[in-house]
Chain A
């Protein structure tokens, strides 16, 4: 099975998760996701997800001026985002444990 197919469903959760402890800007978030092991993730996916989460009201943004290079738009979790992360996390853990059980029995 293709990882990208799996990723589609949980990309929101993944992005919320990497923003849990530290705010970040687009490219930085992409790098964190890749460092965490989601190496196949694309820039457009992250950019699109950030736009969507922001539109849904889970993120706040602020711009940090940079002396060299462009200003950076940082994204941060707001309370709604934290709630969403917690709920999504619960759903995922339950789903994952079900899948794990399922796969163990079959194996």
Chain B
């Protein structure tokens, strides 16, 4: 009810926004208290009615006040047009409010949104903390916690402070919207900045979770690569036997680089001298990968020489055959330039 009173009073105030500030403040000073009396009467009579149902729309209330106090209608043409536009938008929202509410089991959508308000306060506090951390930061990446000077603890404390502050501000403005127009405008502008920042943060986080940074940093372009499912390539002779140490080349004699292991890897010369990138292009290229089972090959392939000899002659792909990131050749793993081909 208090929120309804504050909202109604704020809307009446907005409809009187063309009056000189002191006259308006004079007029509105007692309005919330008065509306609270009216609300109490509604309650005493059994409740159920909203202020707007009892008193008419805030714009009508404002017009009546204006007439009673002998303030001229005083709308400039622009203000009148803006007023009509605002009430049109309000009427449309009112319709949506009533129509969409029942869809989610509420009388009005606004009722549900009002319940979400504290959640917004918390979110707002977090966003402001993140924004401050971003403005503060010195080259740190973007995380989900604000960090100051790389300190998570300090970040947490700041986060808590901003969230508590936001809740305090939310409760205050919900109970009584700031009377001064300038304060309201400033609050609105700050909210807009926070919302825009929040959307940016959300987009950036989404981008990262989708792994676009990974795509940019891998040598083989994974995007649109029809071979990105290929982990290794086995070249078989006509007898169904795997040809060891096979190489694939294209029409120009350049190596065809396929598979997870057949990748460019960095090497570093002894003592840090000489760095470079090489292609590992001998197939099969993953040293610890078992050969695939080939049901269409009449002759059962011989086990790979590097594979663990199994009791049966047929090698089976085992769970350990799946390559894990740890098998990726890394610069530190290779001690020197390993040239192949």
B38 in contact with A27 (CB, 8 Å): yes
Q: Which residues of chain B from 28 to 47 have a CB within 8 Å of any chain A CB?
A: 29-31, 33-34, 36-41, 43-44
B33 in contact with A47 (CB, 8 Å): no
B40 in contact with A69 (CB, 8 Å): yes
A91: interface (CB < 8 Å)? no
B interface residues, how many (CB within 8 angstroms): 26
**Smallest CB-CB separation from A43: which chain B residue?**
B55
Q: Within the assembled complex, what's the spacing in Å between the Cα atoms of A71 and B33?
A: 8
Q: Within the assembled complex, what's the spacing in Å between the Cα atoms of A52 and B61?
A: 16
Residues in chain A near residue B43, CB distance under 8 A: 69
Contact with B along A63-95 (1 / 0, CB 8 A): 000100111110000000000000000000000
Q: Which residues of chain B from 46 to 88 have a CB within 8 Å of any chain A CB?
A: 54-56, 60-62, 64-65, 67-69
**Smallest CB-CB separation from B38: which chain A residue?**
A27
A43 in contact with B38 (CB, 8 Å): yes
Residues in chain A near residue B40, CB distance under 8 A: 27, 66, 69-70
Known interface pairs A48-B65, A69-B40. Does A55 touch B34 (Cβ–Cβ under 8 Å)? no
Distance (whole angstroms) from the CB of A29 to the closest CB of chain B = 10
B37 in contact with A48 (CB, 8 Å): no
Distance (whole angstroms) from the CB of A63 to the closest CB of chain B = 9
Known interface pairs A11-B68, A27-B41. Does A73 touch B55 (Cβ–Cβ under 8 Å)? no
B37 in contact with A25 (CB, 8 Å): yes
Size band of the interface chain A makes with B: 20 to 34
B61 in contact with A43 (CB, 8 Å): yes
> Which among A11, A45, A51, A72 has the greatest number of chain B C-beta atoms within 10 A?
A51
Q: Within the assembled complex, what's the spacing in Å between the Cα atoms of A27 and B68?
A: 17
Distance (whole angstroms) from the CB of A26 to the closest CB of chain B = 5
A49: interface (CB < 8 Å)? yes
B34 in contact with A26 (CB, 8 Å): yes
Contact with B along A1-25 (1 / 0, CB 8 A): 0000000100100000000000001
Q: Within the assembled complex, what's the spacing in Å between the Cα atoms of A25 and B69?
A: 19
**Smallest CB-CB separation from B5: which chain A residue?**
A70
Q: Within the assembled complex, what's the spacing in Å between the Cα atoms of A51 and B24?
A: 12
A45 in contact with B37 (CB, 8 Å): no
B38 in contact with A48 (CB, 8 Å): no
Residues in chain A near residue B252, CB distance under 8 A: none
**Smallest CB-CB separation from A26: which chain B residue?**
B34
B55 in contact with A44 (CB, 8 Å): yes
B113: interface (CB < 8 Å)? no
Residues in chain B near residue A26, CB distance under 8 A: 34, 37-38
B61 in contact with A44 (CB, 8 Å): yes
Q: Within the assembled complex, what's the spacing in Å between the Cα atoms of A73 and B72?
A: 28
5 closest A-B pairs by beta carbon, nearest first, are: A48-B68, A44-B64, A70-B36, A69-B40, A48-B65
Q: Identify the A interface with B (CB < 8 A).
A: 8, 11, 25-27, 42-45, 47-49, 51-52, 55, 66, 69-73
- What are 7 A-B interface contacts by the 8 Å CB criterion? A11-B68, A26-B34, A26-B38, A27-B34, A44-B64, A44-B65, A73-B34
